[in-house]
């Protein structure tokens, strides 16, 4: 009868292995050593030769353990994953501890959320603090996004369908010209040009309308290509069999081609959607108080970049659910 203690169990489990595969003691030693050097020793400020050697040694030791564990087929996957993730944690920790960065100042200039509850020169009775101002900016950005999304989708769908059905040589040249020109122009340049030149032609639009118009024109060009490629991807046979039943070209497009094309269109369409939301930031050059414009005003007022960080977070707030939604819609179409 063998004694049932820790050591005998260890021998039973790993005794058959040669010494270089019995590295559990190595991990143990490593953990003790790392915890001591990195966490318990008092911080040394800047990197000296001795701490440098310590860090390098600790690192090599970790890599040795990692490699041995990853190569061992008997080790469970979760252990391998944890060790791999720990490598990144180690990197992060080392950078934080030894890079000599002034973390407290970084905090003060980039993550100073206290200033967001203050009021300033831009405050009104409705927008009494900076949070409200930023969220009003977000709402403006979303409005620009939704308007130009709807208009450009209709524009692009119309052009793509007309190009496919009417298929008139001269008309195609004009549509191609529109698509090529507006894909070649940087949105920011077009915004400035339209905003500053349109009033001379007697058309005076608000900055908001100018922004929507410009983004619609540019997005329409891209989406036209997206829709066209989706429509072209549907086999000619489908249209022929629809036409042979007596459906008109428009009905064949609406009932047969487009429902099938949507499945192909959704991924690139989502890409353009995300791009469009981010491109609303470019409307800040024509004095629309959207997210970036508001954040920049606040940044210069406080000499503090916290509003920009919050602005970046706001784009994520809108875009992450949107991408999720697009994935759900796409999966649903695939299963149907």
Interface residues with another protein (CB under 8 A) are: 237-238, 240-248, 251, 255-256, 259-260, 336
H/E stretch holding 10 reads helix 6-14
Q: How far is the CB of 329 from another protein (least distance, A)?
A: 15
| Residue (77 or 336) nearer to another protein, CB | 336
Tokens of 295: 């954040």
Q: Three-state SS across the chain?
A: CCCCCHHHHHHHHHCCCCHHHCCHHHHHHHHHHHHHHHHHCCCCCCCCHHHHHHHHHHHHHHHHHHHHHHHCCCCCHHHHHHHHHHHHHHHHHHHHHHCCCCHHHHHHHHCCHHHHHCCCCCCCCCCCCHHHHHHHHHHHHHHHHHHHHHHHHHHHHHHHHHHHHCCCHHHHHHHHHHHHHHHHCCHHHHHHHHHHHHHHHCCCCCHHHHHHHHHHHHHHHHHHHHHHHHHHHCCHHHHHHHHHCCCCHHHHHHHHHHHHHHHHHHHHHHHHHHHHHHHHHHHHHHCCCCHHHHHHHHHHHHCCCHHHHHHHHHHHHHHHHHHHHHHHHHHHHHHC
Query: Distance between CA 43 and CA 41 in Å, rounded?
Result: 6
The DSSP letter of residue 168 is: -
Q: How far is the CB of 162 from another protein (least distance, A)?
A: 19
| Residue (184 or 336) nearer to another protein, CB | 336
Q: How far is the CB of 274 from another protein (least distance, A)?
A: 26
Q: How far is the CB of 156 from another protein (least distance, A)?
A: 21
Q: How far is the CB of 266 from another protein (least distance, A)?
A: 14
| Residue (41 or 245) nearer to another protein, CB | 245
Q: How far is the CB of 254 from another protein (least distance, A)?
A: 9
| Residue (48 or 248) nearer to another protein, CB | 248
Q: How far is the CB of 255 from another protein (least distance, A)?
A: 6
Q: How far is the CB of 259 from another protein (least distance, A)?
A: 5
Q: How far is the CB of 18 from another protein (least distance, A)?
A: 56
| Residue (267 or 313) nearer to another protein, CB | 267
Per the CB < 8 A criterion, the answer to whether 107 and 96 are in contact is no
| Residue (9 or 235) nearer to another protein, CB | 235
| Residue (101 or 245) nearer to another protein, CB | 245
| Residue (100 or 246) nearer to another protein, CB | 246
| Residue (188 or 249) nearer to another protein, CB | 249
Query: Distance between CA 261 and CA 254 in Å, rounded?
Result: 10
């Amino acid at each position: 009868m063998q004694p049932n203690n820790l050591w005998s169990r260890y021998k039973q489990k790993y005794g058959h292995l040669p010494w270089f595969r019995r590295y559990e003691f190595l991990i143990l030693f490593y953990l003790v050593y790392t915890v001591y050097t990195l966490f318990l020793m008092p911080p040394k400020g800047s990197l000296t030769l001795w701490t440098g050697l310590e860090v390098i040694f600790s690192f090599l030791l970790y890599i040795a353990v990692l490699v041995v564990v990853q190569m061992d087929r008997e080790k469970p996957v979760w252990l391998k994953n944890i060790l791999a993730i720990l490598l990144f944690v180690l990197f992060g920790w080392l950078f934080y501890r030894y890079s000599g960065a002034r973390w407290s100042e970084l905090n003060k200039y980039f993550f100073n959320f206290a200033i967001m509850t203050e009021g300033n020169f831009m405050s009104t009775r409705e927008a009494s603090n900076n949070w409200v101002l930023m969220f009003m900016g977000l709402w403006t950005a979303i409005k620009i996004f939704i308007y130009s999304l709807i208009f450009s989708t209709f524009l692009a769908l119309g052009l793509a369908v007309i190009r496919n059905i009417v298929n008139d040589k001269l008309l195609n040249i004009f549509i191609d010209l529109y698509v090529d020109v507006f894909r070649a122009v940087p949105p920011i340049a077009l915004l400035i040009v339209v905003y500053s030149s349109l009033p001379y032609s007697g058309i005076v639009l608000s900055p908001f309308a100018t922004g929507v118009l410009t983004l619609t024109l540019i997005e329409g060009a891209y989406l036209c290509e997206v829709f066209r490629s989706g429509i072209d991807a549907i086999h000619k046979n489908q249209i022929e069999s629809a036409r042979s039943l007596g459906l008109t070209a428009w009905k064949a497009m609406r009932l047969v081609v487009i429902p099938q094309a949507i499945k192909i269109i959704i991924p690139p369409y989502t890409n353009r959607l995300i791009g469009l939301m981010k491109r609303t930031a470019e409307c800040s050059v024509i004095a629309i108080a959207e997210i970036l414009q508001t954040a920049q005003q606040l940044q210069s007022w406080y000499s503090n970049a916290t509003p920009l960080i919050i602005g970046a977070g706001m784009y994520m707030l809108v875009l992450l659910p949107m991408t999720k939604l697009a994935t759900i819609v796409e999966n649903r179409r695939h299963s149907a």
